[in-house]
Amino acid sequence: MIVGLGNPGKEYAKTRHNIGFMVLDEVASYFNVNFKSGFKGVYGEYKNWLFLKPFTYMNRSGESVKEIVDFYKINVEDILVIHDDLDMDFGKIKFKKGGSDGGHNGIRSIINHLDSTDFYRFKIGISKPLRSEYTSKYVLAEFNSFEKKVLPDLLVLCRNAIQCFIESGAKAAMNNFNNKKIEKEDNQCRQP
């Protein structure tokens, strides 16, 4: 299963915290996946993959994830969660398996509800605000003008990375895409 994290509603649609929704929408569009309501969010299917966007708001994402995991009997190790990361430069991407929540409330909620850290994460850098007291305001703000300009390229890079994860597995995705940034070079998956 692939989970894109974000907040529902038009006021959050283009914010940094919603990059998980944006990327999952890009992937779903590429694979012609249609979403339907259920499991406290919207979900769709592609081959043997489920795509999920929890509509519980970020801090309660785990409720939606737990419902669909229990219903479909999904192994925790077979989950990839797409989310923003303040500790990475804007436009940098990275796959990771396990570890702490890194201060991300959506990841923390999923860990608490699944009682496990053993799922994959696809982290997308959004950089940090200049002053830490503005963190909540920063993640819920829209991208700046430069970021908006390159966002389409970033979404394609992310889509290519997740396509590689789906079609060739985690190892190939990590080898080909970890620590990449938006660049004009060929960001395609190559077999290890």
Determine the 3-state secondary structure of 87 from DSSP. Answer: coil
- Least Cα distance to 136 among 42, 15, 13, 50 occurs for 15
- For residue 130, the model assigns a pLDDT of 80
Q: How confident is the model at residue 129 (pLDDT cuts 50, 70, 90)?
A: confident
Average pLDDT of the chain to the nearest whole number: 94
Whether 184 shows a pLDDT value over 60: the answer reads: no
Supply φ then ψ for residue 48, to 5 degrees: -100, 20
Q: Please write the tens of the pLDDT for every residue from 10-53.
A: 999 999 999 999 999 999 999 999 999 999 999 999 999 999 99
Residue ranges of the binding site for tRNA: 12, 57, 59, 105
Q: Where along the chain do its domains lie? A: 2-177
Residues 127, 77: contact at Cβ < 8 Å? no
Lookup: tokens for 40: 């406290």
Lookup: tokens for 18: 């919603």
- For residue 183, the model assigns a pLDDT of 58
Mean pLDDT of 148-164: 96
Residues 81, 5: contact at Cβ < 8 Å? yes
Whether 185 shows a pLDDT value over 60: the answer reads: no
* Rounded distance between C-alpha atoms, residue 19 and residue 14, angstroms: 8
> Residue type for 141, please?
A
Question: Is the pTM here over 0.75, yes or no?
Answer: yes
Residue ranges of the binding site: 12, 57, 59, 105
Q: Please write the tens of the pLDDT for every residue from 57-102.
A: 999 999 999 999 999 999 999 999 999 999 999 999 999 999 999 9
Determine the 3-state secondary structure of 114 from DSSP. Answer: helix
Active site residues: 17
- For residue 134, the model assigns a pLDDT of 81
Indicate the CATH number for domain 2-177: 3.40.50.1470
